[in-house]
Amino acid sequence: MREIVLDTETTGLDPLRGDRLVEIGCIEIYNRMPTGQTFHVYINPERDMPAEAFAVHGLSAEFLSTKPLFTEVVEQFLEFIADAPLVIHNASFDISFINAELDRIKRPVIARDRLVDTLLLARRKHPGVSNRLDDLCSRYSIDNSRRTKHGALLDSELLAEVYIDLIGARQSQLVLASETRESRAERTGDMPRRQRETPLAPRITDADREAHRAFVATLGDKPIWNEFLGAA
């Protein structure tokens, strides 16, 4: 099954109050394994960057001013995600910004029944504790040392690893691999070796043997074939 792990960065917390999307990062996974296919883009929000948001992701208005508008990258984005389920941490936040951008340019919004919210999954599995992405990385021994600031593509990469552990897919793969190796070893070690009741008749005639000996005689004084002919 194809799934897309997705993360965004924004200018703030509320698209209904003028906050805009500034970065999208996506990781493709297939049967719960990353394929190496990614989608990543910075987006010009056509507005200033509040200091609070800049402190989170480090994307300045000056840097983003040279990047494409959402309408210029929307086709590539929609083509990449296609109809796959979207795996997002705190999905309601990210999808509200994506859908606000889609609505702004009169494009159909993304249905919420496509969303897999890893924050909700984490809260069910680990109730009563913090389930931020950094906390989950620590819990599952995932190296997040590169995450000095939020970044959509890096956070998607980390979330893909967290998601695989969160749903137990990694453990299932390890168990399956172990069982496969053990069963293969058992099959190899215990496979009964059957013998034919009646041996097959020789298919090489005396004439074939004599022709071969004559050929070997043309190969010099010490052809290696002599060792096999002697054994025969």
**What positions carry a catalytic annotation?**
150
Residues 155/146, Cβ–Cβ less than 8 Å = no
Residues 37/118, Cβ–Cβ less than 8 Å = no
How far apart, in whole angstroms, are the C-alpha atoms of residue 141 and residue 20? 33
How far apart, in whole angstroms, are the C-alpha atoms of residue 49 and residue 58? 10
Amino acid at the residue 160: A
Eight-class DSSP state of 202: P
Residues 86/114, Cβ–Cβ less than 8 Å = yes
Angle (CA) 23-28-29 rounded to 5° is 140
Spatial CA neighbour of 155 closest among 96, 88, 70, 73: 88
Residue 228: strand, helix, or coil = helix
Residues 4/91, Cβ–Cβ less than 8 Å = no
Spatial CA neighbour of 151 closest among 5, 17, 11, 25: 25
How far apart, in whole angstroms, are the C-alpha atoms of residue 101 and residue 103? 5
